[in-house]
Structure 1
Amino acid sequence: MRKKYTFYSLLLIFCFGFSIQNANAQLRITEVDPSTERIKIKNFGATTINITSYRLCSKFKYGTLSDMALIDGFLNLMPNATVEVTVALSGGNAIDDAADLGLYLPTGNFGTPASMIDFTQWGSGGNGRESVAVTNNFWTAGTFINVAAPYEFIGGANDRGVAFWDTLLNTENFEEITKFNISPNPASLNLNVSIPSSIENATLRVFDLLGKKVIEEEVGSLQTISVDVSKWNTGVYIVRVSSDDVTQTKRFIKQ
């Protein structure tokens, strides 16, 4: 009887620990603005998580969220909610124009993969705790966000890597290009990209999930362009249309 009780106790502890780990996996860094030292964190999960004691690490400088200036939201982060803070790290440091940023659990070594929840990197590769993020399959070694700051995460809870980061659009620019569409999706032979007439001299770029550029074409005055994807590997790709300071990104699946 004693052994049975112990077994079920261990099973409950394991299940509880797994649920906590799974919940933490839904926390993601969604915006980074190095010029204002501002970041956003979003809870993609279904349960509220108190992130007061969670930590940030950038180029081996550390800080706890409770010690940072709260701009908007609450550190007791509800499902689908975001919180915005001004980053303050050890020694009064802020994030740099070329750096990494990792989100960590309240306890554990910063060099231990299990302690890291999320990671992003911009300006250059090989910064700080990149190797930890690579071990976790959060990031690909040497890749970094190379578009204009501030940066915005455009993926979902299960998306990882540089391909899911882009320039943060303001509302006016976003509305201007909302008619950019792709079809069919999924695609097996040709992908059609439709661009609104208000967008002139646009550039079309397509990336794979590792951030490798597959094609780049100047669209010019064309409103529709057809891309032959028949020989591409199956998987998810990122389609990006940009003109001047206006950029929008969509995903499509190659079957």
Structure 2
Amino acid sequence: MKKNYLLKVLLMAIISTTLSTTTLFAQENVRILKADPNTNSITLKNFGDVTATISGYWFCVRPQYAQLSSMTTVTTLAPGAELDVASSINFPVSSGEFALYSSSGFGSSANMLDFLQWGTGASPSRESVAVAAGLWVADTFITVSPPFQYNGDGTQNGVANWSTLGIDDFEESSSLRLFPNPSSTILNVEFKSVVAEGTLQVYDILGKQVYAQSISSNIEAQIDVSEWETGLYLIKVSSENGQNIKRFIKQ
């Protein structure tokens, strides 16, 4: 009986230690999954195993800064979840850098969550912070054409883990259908599920908002684009179903 009692105590101790260790090492790990300097688009992914509160995060394209809460109504990101964001600050296209921060202390490596820089003629201003954070190697740049995609598992850092992303890949998870696309007159925006309450916003290639409307109890919206400048636009729909982004070409 004494041996059985000791065995039970030992098993309980092992289980307790295992549970405590699991809880101790559970953490959020939000990284940049996709980036498109052409349309100021960013996709974030939580590679961690606990839900991340992201409302206090910041985008940095020095000297421009913007809090994530000003660009999306989404405040948390579940483990494995992704979030498409139309950035309110502009990215340099040919050469530049982008940093994701947990707070507004931009000079602190402890606050930097992720970083990338591209091109060959960039003048990095946050590179030293990224190097100190272990997120990047000095004097290395992504040299493939944008859009960019991170191919790591959330633990790997540096330029070797970035590749070119096709436009169809960036939008494959979108629950929006745009037609006709391209269009010179009317653009129809179709939702895969009814939107009870939300907003539809359109941004030009420079990240400037050119159109906005409220959505309620609809599965489709219609926009007159006849007066718009010819070029590429970003359609963003935010609702109780989440946020979705898709590109549109005005002919």
TM-score, normalising length from structure 2?
0.53
How far residue 59 of structure 1 moved from its aligned partner, in angstroms, is 2.4
2:43 pairs with 1:47: no
2:152 pairs with 1:158: no
2:111 pairs with 1:115: yes
Asked if the contact 1:126–1:141 (Cα under 8 Å) also holds between the matched residues in 2, the reply is: no
The CA distance in 1 between the partners of 2:51 and 2:133, in whole Å, is 24
2:39 pairs with 1:36: yes
Structure 1 segments unaligned to the other structure (5+ residues): 1-14, 173-255
2:166 pairs with 1:169: yes
Quick check: which has more Rg, 1 or 2? 2
The CA distance in 2 between the partners of 1:157 and 1:19, in whole Å, is 19
How far residue 158 of structure 1 moved from its aligned partner, in angstroms, is 0.7
Match of 1:131 in 2: 128
Match of 2:101 in 1: 104
How far residue 169 of structure 1 moved from its aligned partner, in angstroms, is 3.0
Structure with the bigger RCO (C-alpha within 8 Å, sep 6+) is: 2
Match of 2:61 in 1: 58
- The residue type equivalent to 1:59 in the other structure is R
Match of 2:85 in 1: 85
The CA distance in 2 between the partners of 1:161 and 1:19, in whole Å, is 27
Asked if the contact 2:147–2:167 (Cα under 8 Å) also holds between the matched residues in 1, the reply is: no
The counterpart of 2:27, out of the listed 13, 23, 27, is 23
- The residue type equivalent to 1:23 in the other structure is Q
The CA distance in 2 between the partners of 1:19 and 1:64, in whole Å, is 29
The CA distance in 2 between the partners of 1:112 and 1:138, in whole Å, is 13
The CA distance in 2 between the partners of 1:128 and 1:75, in whole Å, is 28
Asked if the contact 1:29–1:40 (Cα under 8 Å) also holds between the matched residues in 2, the reply is: yes
Count residues in correspondence: 146
Cα offsets for 1:43-92 (capped at 9, x unmatched): 0011111201110111231110011157xxx4410100011111113xxx
The CA distance in 1 between the partners of 2:168 and 2:35, in whole Å, is 17
Structure 2 segments unaligned to the other structure (5+ residues): 1-19, 170-251
In structure 2, the CA distance between the partners of 1:63 and 1:19, relative to structure 1 (3 Å rule), is farther
Asked if the contact 2:58–2:102 (Cα under 8 Å) also holds between the matched residues in 1, the reply is: yes
- The residue type equivalent to 2:47 in the other structure is F
How far residue 171 of structure 1 moved from its aligned partner, in angstroms, is 5.7
The CA distance in 1 between the partners of 2:51 and 2:39, in whole Å, is 28
Asked if the contact 2:145–2:164 (Cα under 8 Å) also holds between the matched residues in 1, the reply is: yes
- The residue type equivalent to 1:78 in the other structure is A
In structure 2, the CA distance between the partners of 1:34 and 1:19, relative to structure 1 (3 Å rule), is farther
- The residue type equivalent to 1:55 in the other structure is W
The CA distance in 2 between the partners of 1:126 and 1:137, in whole Å, is 19
Q: What's the secondary structure of 1:47's corresponding residue?
A: coil
Asked if the contact 1:69–1:87 (Cα under 8 Å) also holds between the matched residues in 2, the reply is: no
- Aligned sequence identity (%): 36
- The residue type equivalent to 2:119 in the other structure is G
In structure 2, the CA distance between the partners of 1:133 and 1:119, relative to structure 1 (3 Å rule), is same
The CA distance in 1 between the partners of 2:24 and 2:166, in whole Å, is 35
Structure 1 stretches (4+) deviating beyond 4 angstroms? none
TM-score, normalising length from structure 1?
0.53
- The residue type equivalent to 1:139 in the other structure is W
